[in-house]
């Protein structure tokens, strides 16, 4: 509230005015209380205008305090005979406000504004893109279902479903630009660690049996008989997604690396890094690619594919060491019942020459890993025995199929006895696999401490976790859109959703895992009491909701939130935090 003096020169009045918001959302003011005639009040203070104004401001402050105290208690009237309006939404998600704040800090509005200036369309690309991100995280489904879900947000869409499909084409065309800008802007939220870049591929299937464009039949990770596309993904050393691209489903994964890596070097100004990947993407050509320009590599390597002489040296139990120690250890002398020994990792280094490249093979041995592999194999052998008993011996292309332990032997018949086929366990195959229990290898051109190389490779699980989140939690497959440009746009929204989610984890100091975070955001519902009053939270307040509110600077867990207060909260999530550095 504030003091206002109105009237003509000889007939002035002193009022206390109150600011308020109209039903249409516009601000206005109204008279709250009249303090008196200007001349009468001036006479009370012996003609001292400054003292009179100071007194009036004190009165305005008292009225403000009294009004606020009165507002602390809210009365809402309900009628047992009045019915709620037809088709009126009363339940809204407020968890998306946390995501909206992150999207604002990523400057997605600025990215979309620049795209709009280039393409001259009229629909709100920023609203469409961010809504697709919220829906992918909170209620993943098709684009049509996502549009329907967004009607339950506190700010329902003002665009049409057709606008979404038009926007997908623009998003696909601008995918490289969007990724580059997000990388640069994300540095203001979390300093990107590009000293180590992890790369991996996966594929996604479609609910169709027809090939078209990039949808091709290939080797599906889910072993499904559907056309697929392949996604290549780069991740930085802190687990944040860096860049992605989509390739035809029948393309060799080895060939996906070079174009995407060149894009990262060119567009992201990341030219010096350690490349880390699995053996499937670590061909000699890909290792050679990362032997130039201050780049190096750490790649898992199959011991089974080594030359016989190299494999025998690698598996020989002598000349192993503990990280940080020069003492040679013979693995046969280890007391693996000792907890410290069981939890330790031992290693040896072997120089290897591959063409023109001088490389080092680091072989590790872990008693714990050996124990795990033996437990898995025991279960698989038991499964193979049941397959023999039941007569089901069909073997799939999966290298972990238990049927690989089944040996087929044909016995020649004698006289009237026909040829007979015998199925039994293959002890030779079992012994061959047991040779590798506990062993693991990486190949590198680094001259670093082997312990550091091993540490770099251990973080590879995070890129697999990124794929798991996209496939399981964000339900990126099956893919329902059909056109190649819309397919790429679909995965672009999945990629941005993953980036937003990972940044949210960083904001929460990585104290919570994926399931509780998503469950909490999806459950943060607000119930609208009436159009004239406001909202009440209809979710359980927890330590995680408290942390979210603390991190993002607003609260939706009061017993009652007026519509004007909610508008202020929404507005704050669209503003750039002053603590974030400006460009």
pLDDT in tens, 49-66: 899 999 999 988 888 877
CA distance 440 to 224: 30
The answer to whether residue 81 is domain-embedded is no
**What confidence score (pLDDT) does residue 372 get?**
96
pLDDT of 581 above 60: no
pLDDT of 411 above 80: no
Quick one: what percent of the chain has pLDDT higher than 90? 69
Number of domains in the chain: 2
Mean pLDDT, the chain, integer: 91
The model's confidence at residue 455, banded by pLDDT at 50, 70 and 90, is very high
Residue 388 vs residues 413, 418, 427: alpha-carbon distances, Å: 21, 21, 15
Where are any strands of DSSP class E within 452-566? 525-528, 534-537, 561-562
The model's confidence at residue 413, banded by pLDDT at 50, 70 and 90, is low
Quick one: what percent of the chain has pLDDT higher than 70? 95
**What confidence score (pLDDT) does residue 390 get?**
86
Q: Tens digits of per-residue pLDDT, 214-261?
A: 999 998 887 788 899 999 999 999 999 999 999 999 999 999 999 999
The answer to whether residue 12 is domain-embedded is yes
The answer to whether residue 317 is domain-embedded is no
* 134 close to 497: Cβ distance less than 8 angstroms: no
**What confidence score (pLDDT) does residue 70 get?**
58
**37 versus 97: which is more confidently predicted?**
97
For 88, the 3-state DSSP assignment is coil
Reported residue count of the chain is 583
CA distance 170 to 568: 32
Cα torsion angle, 246, 252, 253, 255, sign:
negative
**What confidence score (pLDDT) does residue 398 get?**
73
The answer to whether residue 252 is domain-embedded is no
The answer to whether residue 123 is domain-embedded is no
Q: Tens digits of per-residue pLDDT, 421-432?
A: 888 999 999 999
The model's confidence at residue 416, banded by pLDDT at 50, 70 and 90, is low
The answer to whether residue 7 is domain-embedded is yes
**What confidence score (pLDDT) does residue 583 get?**
44
Q: Tens digits of per-residue pLDDT, 292-319?
A: 888 999 999 999 999 999 999 999 999 9
- Angular region, 107: left φ>0, alpha ψ -120 to 50, beta rest: left
**What confidence score (pLDDT) does residue 63 get?**
83
Angle between helices 161-173 and 175-186 (to 10 degrees): 80
For 395, the 3-state DSSP assignment is coil
Where are any strands of DSSP class E within 256-370? 274-277, 296-300, 346-354, 357-365
**What confidence score (pLDDT) does residue 221 get?**
81
Q: Tens digits of per-residue pLDDT, 364-382?
A: 999 999 999 999 999 999 9
What's the mean pLDDT in 74-101? Answer: 89
What's the mean pLDDT in 77-87? Answer: 86
Q: What are phi and psi of 247, to 5 degrees?
A: -130, 160
Q: Tens digits of per-residue pLDDT, 145-197?
A: 999 999 999 999 999 999 999 999 999 999 999 999 999 999 999 999 999 99
pLDDT of 79 above 90: no
The answer to whether residue 329 is domain-embedded is no
What's the mean pLDDT in 8-20? Answer: 85
Q: Tens digits of per-residue pLDDT, 128-159?
A: 999 999 999 999 999 999 999 999 999 999 99
Q: Where is the domain boundary, 377, 402, 434?
A: 434
The answer to whether residue 363 is domain-embedded is no
What's the pTM value of the predicted model, to 2 decimals? 0.82
pLDDT of 90 above 70: yes
Note down the domain range covering 65: 2-71
- Angular region, 35: left φ>0, alpha ψ -120 to 50, beta rest: alpha
Q: In b/e form, how buried is each residue of 518-545, taking b as 16+ CB within 10 angstroms?
A: bebbeebbbebbeeebbbbbebeeeebb
Which of 122-131, 191-200, 287-296, 396-405 shows the lowest mean pLDDT across its residues? 396-405
Q: Tens digits of per-residue pLDDT, 260-289?
A: 999 999 999 898 999 999 999 999 999 999
pLDDT of 415 above 60: no
**What confidence score (pLDDT) does residue 235 get?**
97
* 193 close to 206: Cβ distance less than 8 angstroms: no
The model's confidence at residue 104, banded by pLDDT at 50, 70 and 90, is very high
**What confidence score (pLDDT) does residue 578 get?**
58
**39 versus 248: which is more confidently predicted?**
248
**What confidence score (pLDDT) does residue 393 get?**
67
Q: Where is the domain boundary, 394, 414, 434?
A: 434
What's the mean pLDDT in 441-461? Answer: 93
């Amino acid at each position: 509230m504030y003091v206002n003096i109105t009237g003509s020169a000889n007939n002035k009045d002193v009022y206390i005015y109150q600011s308020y918001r109209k039903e249409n959302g516009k601000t206005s003011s109204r008279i709250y209380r009249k303090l008196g005639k200007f001349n009468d009040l001036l006479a009370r203070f012996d003609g001292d205008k400054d003292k009179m104004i100071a007194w009036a401001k004190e009165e305005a402050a008292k009225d403000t305090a009294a009004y606020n105290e009165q507002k602390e208690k809210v009365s809402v009237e309900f009628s047992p005979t009045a019915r709620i309006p037809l088709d009126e939404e009363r339940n809204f998600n407020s968890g998306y406000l946390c995501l909206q704040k992150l999207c604002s800090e990523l400057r997605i509005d600025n990215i979309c504004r620049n795209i709009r200036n280039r393409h001259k369309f009229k629909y709100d690309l920023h609203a469409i893109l961010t809504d697709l991100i919220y829906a992918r995280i909170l209620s993943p489904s098709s684009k049509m279902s996502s549009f329907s879900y967004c009607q339950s947000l506190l700010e329902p869409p003002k665009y049409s479903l057709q606008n979404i499909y038009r926007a997908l084409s623009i998003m696909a065309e601008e995918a490289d630009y969007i990724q580059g800008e997000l990388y640069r802007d994300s540095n203001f939220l979390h300093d990107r660690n590009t000293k180590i870049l992890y790369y991996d591929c996966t594929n996604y299937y479609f609910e169709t049996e027809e090939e078209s464009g990039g949808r091709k039949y290939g080797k599906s990770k889910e072993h499904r008989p559907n056309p697929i596309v392949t996604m290549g993904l780069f991740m930085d050393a802190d687990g944040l997604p860096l860049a992605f691209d989509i390739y035809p489903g029948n393309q060799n994964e080895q060939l996906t690396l070079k174009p995407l890596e060149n894009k990262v070097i060119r567009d992201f100004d990341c030219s010096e890094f350690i490349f880390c990947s699995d053996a499937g993407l670590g061909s000699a050509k890909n290792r050679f690619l990362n032997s130039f320009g201050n780049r190096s590599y750490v790649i898992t390597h199959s011991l089974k594919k080594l030359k016989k002489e190299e494999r025998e040296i690698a598996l020989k139990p002598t000349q192993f060491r503990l990280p940080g120690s020069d003492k040679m250890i013979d693995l046969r002398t280890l007391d693996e019942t000792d907890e410290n020994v069981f939890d330790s990792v031992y290693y040896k280094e072997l120089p290897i020459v591959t063409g023109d490249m001088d490389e080092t093979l680091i072989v590790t041995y872990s008693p714990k890993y050996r124990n795990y592999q033996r437990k898995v194999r025991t279960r698989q052998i038991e499964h193979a025995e049941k397959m023999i008993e039941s007569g089901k011996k069909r073997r799939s292309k999966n290298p972990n199929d238990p049927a690989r332990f089944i040996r087929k032997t044909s016995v020649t018949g004698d006289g009237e006895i026909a040829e007979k086929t015998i199925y039994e366990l293959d002890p030779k195959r079992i012994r061959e696999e047991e040779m590798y229990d506990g062993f693991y290898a990486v190949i590198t051109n680094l001259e670093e401490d082997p312990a550091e190389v091993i540490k770099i490779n251990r973080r590879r699980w995070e890129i697999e976790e990124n794929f798991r989140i996209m496939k399981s939690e964000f339900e990126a497959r099956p893919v329902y859109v059909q056109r190649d440009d819309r397919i790429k746009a679909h995965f672009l929204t999945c990629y941005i959703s993953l980036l937003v989610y990972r940044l949210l984890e960083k904001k929460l100091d990585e104290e919570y895992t994926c399931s509780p975070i998503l469950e909490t955001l999806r459950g943060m519902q607000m119930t609208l009491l009436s159009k004239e009053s406001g909202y009440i939270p209809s979710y359980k307040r927890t330590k995680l909701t408290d942390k979210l509110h603390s991190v993002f600077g607003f609260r939706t867990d009061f017993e009652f939130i007026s519509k004007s207060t909610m508008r202020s909260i929404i507005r704050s999530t669209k503003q750039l935090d002053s603590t974030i550095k400006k460009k």
